[in-house]
Amino acid sequence: MKKITICGSMIFVKEIQNLEIMLNKLGFKVYLPTIKEGNLVDYSKLCINEQIDIKNKFIDLHLSKIKKSDAIIVANYNKKNKKNCIGSNTFLEMGFAYAFNKKIFLLNDVPIQSNSLEIQGLKPICLYGNLDYLETYL
């Protein structure tokens, strides 16, 4: 069974959970980001060092999921006025996947943002919203 880790902003929790269901139906073992992070931690009540320590634990946990996967899929949806947004943490995860020779899939097209060229340099495969393309590449 192929293993895939979903990467993306926690603003898209519902979309990520739906994506997990669709990937499971296609026969994938799916690893998710720590969905409950937003509910577990109120960063506004913590000092900066506490925020950093907690964020570090979430990052380490997610990177360990990427390491044991065959690929990642970036859930890059529209965020505010940004089409197909890829945030800084997700970009970090893409770089990590790239370093470990994992396939990188973008659910939607490459966003137009300040690091678009760097995103493209990681050679992601754009699915244009169609998960059926995964079978072609995995």
Task: Give dist(CA 75, CA 107) in Å, integer.
Answer: 5
Q: Report which of residues 42 and 60 the model is more confident about.
A: 60
The predicted pLDDT at position 39 comes to 62
Q: Please work out, in degrees rounded to the nearest 5, the angle formed at the alpha carbon of residue 102 by the alpha carbons of 100 and 104.
A: 130
- pLDDT tier at 28, thresholds 50, 70, 90: very high
The predicted pLDDT at position 88 comes to 92
Q: Report which of residues 71 and 13 the model is more confident about.
A: 71
The predicted pLDDT at position 118 comes to 97
Instruction: Specify the residue for token string 């993306």.
Output: 8
Tokens of 98: 């790239």
Does the pLDDT of residue 46 top 80, yes or no? Answer: yes
Q: What is the per-residue pLDDT across 76-92, written as a single tens digit (0 to 9) for each? A: 999 888 899 999 999 99
84 class by beta-carbon count within 10 Å (0-12 exposed, 13-18 middle, 19+ buried) = buried
Question: What number is the average pLDDT over the span 8-15?
Answer: 89
| pLDDT over 70 percentage in the chain | 96
3-state SS assignment for residue 116: helix
Q: CATH no. for residue 80? A: 3.40.50.450
Domain boundaries, position 82: 3-137
Give the amino acid at 102.
Answer: K
Q: What is the per-residue pLDDT across 94-136, written as a single tens digit (0 to 9) for each? A: 999 999 999 999 999 999 999 999 999 999 999 999 999 898 8
Which residues share a beta bridge with 106? Answer: 74, 126
Overall number of domains in the chain: 1
